[in-house]
Amino acid sequence: MTGPIIDKDKCTLCRKCVDICPKEILSLQNNEIVIVQDGCILCSHCYCVCKFDAIRFNELKKPAFSFGHTALIQDEIKPFDIISFIHSRRSVRRFKADTVSTEILHDLIESAVLAPSASNCQRWQFVVINGREKVLMLAEDIKNFFIKLNTIAENPLLRYVSMVFAGKKILHYYKNNYESVKLGLERAKEGKDLLFHGAPCIIIVHSDMEGSMPVEDGQYAAYNIALVAHSMGLGTCFIGYASATLNSAHVIKEKLHILKHNRVHAVLALGYPDIKFVKNSLRKDYEVKFL
Ligand SMILES: Cc1cc2nc3c(=O)[nH]c(=O)nc-3n(C[C@H](O)[C@H](O)[C@H](O)COP(=O)(O)O)c2cc1C
Ligand code: SF4
Ligand code: SF4
């Protein structure tokens, strides 16, 4: 059965694991902790409250980083520091040519999977494209996709015919994206990379759609990457155009070893920033209701 394995010799019957289990799977019966029902989501909350190291799992591992394992820090970091750090992250659109080490890439992926996931599904998968030449190959495929799309969108007749097989998608595209893509394609002819902004590395977060909320899970994982990369002096930019293309073009997905039915949740351009921000960002006003 999936779930925690209790070491009876170490267990003091403190009940902490029983009380915390969100699925009410554990119970103290006849002087031992027992699993009373199926449905463990492998969240490891029981493991995390056991002071006596009496719980282990066959299915789980400790995330490990190039510096070893993480420490349990809950009180020592000042909120001001965290907020300031989050605030100082910006989308980076100018990268140095320097490559990113595989060690750092490994640490970023390990950080990604520390994100929360609905029902603890953790179905995220990753593709790392490391090296500018490989990034350019993907950019070329995406460029060709957009050349075809713009050819359809700029033709009024084709735009309306497309409604038969694509609903209003092409009309929306024409209204919202056509002009900026046209500009990007023109710039590409001049050797400018408006898609990946010259990044030497790309990280793609994708998954099947089997979990409870796979899109959100994938996006939280991607944001972890963005934040941890920032802490390492790296820059990232979410490339929505690339995600959208991959989700429409199965041939490109196939080249990246992403299964046809998987959905791409985020494409992150990654590299060392060739720009230094001297101020934190400004934001639009927003609505919030405190009830
Ligand atoms: C889902 C998503 C898609 C995005 N797509 C792109 C993109 O295709 N190209 C790009 O240069 N920036 C893209 N961005 C970056 C946004 O433009 C940027 O986050 C926003 O302007 C705020 O700036 P900041 O990230 O520096 O705070 C995307 C961001 C998100 C969250
Ligand atoms: S938290 Fe650990 S020591 Fe306490 S009852 Fe559970 S397994 Fe036993
Ligand atoms: S891993 Fe989570 S769901 Fe499973 S027994 Fe422990 S606390 Fe309960």
Q: How confident is the model at residue 165 (pLDDT cuts 50, 70, 90)?
A: confident
Best residue among 239, 276, 284 to mutate for probing ligand 1's pocket (most ligand atoms within 8 Å of CB) is: 239
State whether the beta carbon of 134 lies less than 6 angstroms from ligand 2: no
State whether the beta carbon of 194 lies less than 6 angstroms from ligand 1: no
Backbone φ and ψ for 240, nearest 5 degrees, come out as -60, -35
pLDDT given for residue 121 in this prediction: 97
Q: Measuring from atom 1 of ligand 2, which residue has the nearest CA?
A: 50
- Which residues have C-beta atoms less than 6 Å from ligand 3? 3-4, 20-23, 25-26, 40-46
pLDDT given for residue 221 in this prediction: 98
What is the CATH architecture of 5-56?
2-Layer Sandwich (3.30)
Could you write out the three-class secondary structure of the chain? CCCCEECCCCCCCCCHHHHHCCCCCEEEECCEEEECCCCCCCCCHHHHHCCCCCEECCCCCCCCECCECCCCCCCCCCHHHHHHHHHHCCECCCECCCCCCHHHHHHHHHHHCCCCCHHHCCCCEEEEEECHHHHHHHHHHHHHHHHHHHHHHCCHHHHHHHHHHHCCHHHHHHHHCHHHHHHHHHHHHCCCCCCCCCCCEEEEEEECCCCCCHHHHHHHHHHHHHHHHHHCCCEEEECHHHHHHHHHCHHHHHHCCCCCCCEEEEEEEEECECCCCCCCCCCCCCCCCCC
CA pair distance 139, 136, nearest whole angstrom:
5
CA pair distance 255, 137, nearest whole angstrom:
10
Q: How far is CA 271 from CA 140, 188, 193, 232, 248, in A?
A: 19, 20, 14, 11, 26
Tell me how crowded residue 194 is: count the other CB atoms within 10 A of its CB.
17
Class of the CATH domain delimited by 76-279: alpha beta
Q: Measuring from atom 4 of ligand 2, which residue has the nearest CA?
A: 14
- The Å distance, Cα 41 to ligand 3 centre, comes to 6
Dihedral sign from CA coordinates of 57, 65, 138, 237: positive
Give the amino acid at 241: Y
Rounded to an integer, the average pLDDT of 137-163 is 92
Q: How far is CA 205 from the centre of its chain?
A: 5
For 51-63, how does the pLDDT look when each residue is reduced to its tens digit (9 = 90+)?
A: 999 999 999 999 9
- The Å distance, Cα 26 to ligand 3 centre, comes to 8
Stretch(es) of the chain classified as CATH 3.40.109.10: 76-279
For 65-91, how does the pLDDT look when each residue is reduced to its tens digit (9 = 90+)?
A: 999 999 898 888 999 999 999 999 999
Query: Is the pLDDT assigned to residue 1 strictly greater than 80?
Result: no
State whether the beta carbon of 25 lies less than 6 angstroms from ligand 2: no
Q: How confident is the model at residue 105 (pLDDT cuts 50, 70, 90)?
A: very high
Q: Measuring from atom 30 of ligand 1, which residue has the nearest CA?
A: 238
Contact 270, 229 (CB under 8 A): yes
Backbone φ and ψ for 127, nearest 5 degrees, come out as -125, 130
Q: How far is CA 66 from the centre of its chain?
A: 20
Stretch(es) of the chain classified as CATH 3.30.70.20: 5-56
pLDDT given for residue 74 in this prediction: 83
pLDDT given for residue 270 in this prediction: 98
Rounded to an integer, the average pLDDT of 183-191 is 91
pTM of the model: 0.91
Dihedral sign from CA coordinates of 272, 207, 25, 31: negative
- The Å distance, Cα 22 to ligand 2 centre, comes to 15
For 188-227, how does the pLDDT look when each residue is reduced to its tens digit (9 = 90+)?
A: 999 899 999 999 999 999 999 999 999 999 999 999 999 9
* For the CA of 20, the nearest ligand: 3
Partnered with residue 33 across adjacent β-strands are 28
CA pair distance 77, 60, nearest whole angstrom:
28
pLDDT given for residue 241 in this prediction: 93
The more confidently predicted of residues 78 and 165 is 78
* For the CA of 28, the nearest ligand: 2
Rounded to an integer, the average pLDDT of 97-103 is 97
